[in-house]
Amino acid sequence: MSPACAIPPVEYSPAKAPLLQPLEYTHLSSRKTLPAVWMRAGTSKGLFLHRRHLPASTHLWEPILLSAMGSSQGDGRQIDGVGGASSTTSKVAVVEGSSRPDVDVEYTFVQVAPDQPRIDMTGNCGNIASGVGPFSLDEGIVRAAPGQKEIDIRTYNTNTGQHIVETVQVAADGSFQEEGECRIPGVAGASSPIRLAFLSPGGSMTGQLFPSGAQQETLTVQSRTVGTFDVRVSLVDAANPFVLVDAASLPMPLPPYTISPTGDSNSNPNNPAFLSVVEDIRREGAVRFGLAADPQAAGKVRGTPKIALLSSAAENDEADIRVLAFTMGKPHASLQLTGAVCVGAATVIHGTIAWELARKGKRGTRPKHGMSVGHHQIAPPLPVGIRHPAGVIPVEAVLGMDHKGEVSVDNVAVFRTARRLFEGNVYYHV
């Protein structure tokens, strides 16, 4: 199984003048405007903004973004803003050119809660990251050379300090070439491929790939619903920190979860008792990660760490492993891109729960990870297939070895598509 969207790396180019011109905030009563682009990026949608159009202090962003997205009142429908009433359609990317060495573009990710007046800037969103390259090209933050058909855009995520190289297609006029034949699960239709290579993704928030020091462990959870129980987990921080749970060790059966053609979930695990158990595991994992002092404190930050339930793929499945991820307390309709990076990395690292489940019934098969020495790749990876409720996403992971023989995750690559939906000014009230 090889990615249908594979493209070779190319050289990057510097910036040009923006298409969205700077606008001063205008006053119509209490109403103000903010230049913006609405984009579908991967399987998410979000508001893309220039950093210079927001206040200098990030502490002043919250009321602006809550109002623009429609979350100021926390009614869940976001009826008074442009948000789509779900966590995957209530996101913001704030983008600017970079003065950092070997970086073209910086972006800050903001998760806006659709059902409460709160934003979360603790983690990254890989799907939204896939729109940063196309936005930067269209807005003139980076510039392709005349006749260049694809470009590598070196991106830095300010939330996590991650470096991502985005390879995007270039149209004849130097803008993002949107049309193409690449298809991804969870999105109808085809677009041009966007390759995202997460460089050294380990330790995005904690500084370590395995912050607890163990590839897997047993977590004792004090549940508000079913009492005390033990569950098998791997706590992995790659692209985002994830509590990866062996679904077979849950205190209740994992309900079936599928996606209908309309995107609605059928027979889904949305019952309150199950969601409460998943959240209790996530909170206990946050404490073990070192991201929260106690489960109560962990409950105040819903964006990180994230949590996903893992199980073995069916014997005749093209995929290597099955995943049910959660976002902001709800089952994810597909899989976060950072989740694909994290699970993909864990699947090729000896001893993790993901590694065990992916190898179940497949002993004797060759490792799928690539290999690099001193960041020079010496063996190419084979795609790891991760099945989620909307389909299968292939992930290519390369492990690296330093001069001491220590192994780490050198890079993990995935493919996405993106589409610019509208541009103009979004109104907000503060």
Q: Could you report the per-residue pLDDT of 312-336, keeping only the tens digit for each?
A: 998 889 899 999 999 988 899 889 9
Is 0.75 topped by the overall pTM? yes
Task: Say whether both 228 and 360 belong to one domain.
Answer: yes
Q: Which domain holds residue 288?
A: 217-368
Q: What's the pLDDT at 64? A: 97
Provide mean pLDDT across the span 61-90: 95
Q: What's the pLDDT at 302? A: 87
Provide mean pLDDT across the span 374-382: 87
Gap between the terminal Cα atoms of the chain: 51
Provide mean pLDDT across the span 83-100: 96
Task: Say whether both 141 and 266 belong to one domain.
Answer: no
Q: Which of 154-168, 290-304, 403-417 has the lowest mean pLDDT?
A: 403-417
> What is the identity of the amino acid at 247?
A
14: confidence class by pLDDT, cuts 50, 70, 90: very low
Q: What's the pLDDT at 264? A: 41
Task: Say whether both 223 and 360 belong to one domain.
Answer: yes
Query: Long-range CB contacts (< 8 A, 24+ apart) of 27-34?
Result: 30/429, 30/430, 31/427, 31/428, 31/429, 32/427, 32/428, 32/429, 32/430, 33/425, 33/426, 33/427, 33/428, 34/64, 34/68, 34/425, 34/426, 34/427, 34/428
Q: What's the pLDDT at 10? A: 45
Last residue of a domain, one of 368, 383, 412: 368
Task: Say whether both 116 and 255 belong to one domain.
Answer: no
Residue 55 pLDDT > 80, yes or no? yes
The 3-class secondary structure across 143-195, one letter per residue, is CCCCCCCEEEEEEEECCCCEEEEEEEEECCCCCECCCCCECCCCCCCCECCEE
Question: Is 209 part of any domain?
Answer: no
How far is 54 from 24, CA to CA, in rounded Å? 10
Q: What's the pLDDT at 362? A: 65
Average pLDDT for the chain: 89
Verify cis geometry, omega within 30 degrees of 0, for the bond prior to 305: yes
Task: Say whether both 69 and 141 belong to one domain.
Answer: yes
Calculate the alpha carbon distances from 356 to 155, 193, 216, 222, 344 in Å.
Answer: 33, 31, 10, 26, 13
Question: Is 223 part of any domain?
Answer: yes
Residue 170, strand partner residues: 176
Please count the structural domains in the chain. 2
Q: Which of 216-225, 359-368, 380-389 has the lowest mean pLDDT?
A: 359-368
Task: Say whether both 239 and 168 belong to one domain.
Answer: no
Q: Which domain CATH number covers 153?
A: 3.10.310.10
Task: Say whether both 149 and 240 belong to one domain.
Answer: no
Last residue of a domain, one of 177, 200, 228: 177
Provide mean pLDDT across the span 197-218: 95
- Of the candidates 328, 285, 338, the one whose C-alpha atom is nearest the C-alpha of residue 118 is 328
- Of the candidates 87, 277, 323, the one whose C-alpha atom is nearest the C-alpha of residue 285 is 277
Provide mean pLDDT across the span 385-406: 90
Question: Is 266 part of any domain?
Answer: yes
Highest mean pLDDT range out of 29-38, 114-123, 413-422? 413-422
Task: Say whether both 241 and 101 belong to one domain.
Answer: no
> What is the identity of the amino acid at 366?
R
Question: Is 26 part of any domain?
Answer: no
Task: Say whether both 277 and 140 belong to one domain.
Answer: no
297: confidence class by pLDDT, cuts 50, 70, 90: very high
Helix axes 337-347, 126-138, angle to 10 degrees: 120
Question: Is 6 part of any domain?
Answer: no
Which two three-digit tokens encode residue 304?
């990180």
Residue 31, strand partner residues: 28, 429
Query: Long-range CB contacts (< 8 A, 24+ apart) of 394-397?
Result: 394/1, 394/2, 394/3, 395/340, 395/341, 395/343, 395/344, 395/347, 396/3, 396/344, 396/370, 397/344, 397/345, 397/347, 397/348, 397/368, 397/369, 397/370
Task: Say whether both 244 and 161 belong to one domain.
Answer: no
Question: Is 398 part of any domain?
Answer: no
Q: What's the pLDDT at 21? A: 59
The 10 Å Cβ neighbour count of residue 185 is 16
Residue 375 pLDDT > 90, yes or no? no
25 within 8 A of 52, measured Cβ to Cβ: no
Question: Is 25 part of any domain?
Answer: no
134 within 8 A of 178, measured Cβ to Cβ: yes
- Of the candidates 122, 192, 208, the one whose C-alpha atom is nearest the C-alpha of residue 160 is 122
Residue 8 pLDDT > 90, yes or no? no
Provide mean pLDDT across the span 102-113: 97
Task: Say whether both 169 and 244 belong to one domain.
Answer: no
Question: Is 17 part of any domain?
Answer: no
Task: Give kind and range of the element (H or E) at residue 137.
Answer: helix 126-138
Q: What's the pLDDT at 208? A: 94
Last residue of a domain, one of 368, 400, 415: 368
How far is 90 from 92, CA to CA, in rounded Å? 7
Task: Say whether both 270 and 144 belong to one domain.
Answer: no
- Coil vs helix vs strand at 39: strand
Residue 401 pLDDT > 80, yes or no? yes
Residue 290 pLDDT > 90, yes or no? yes
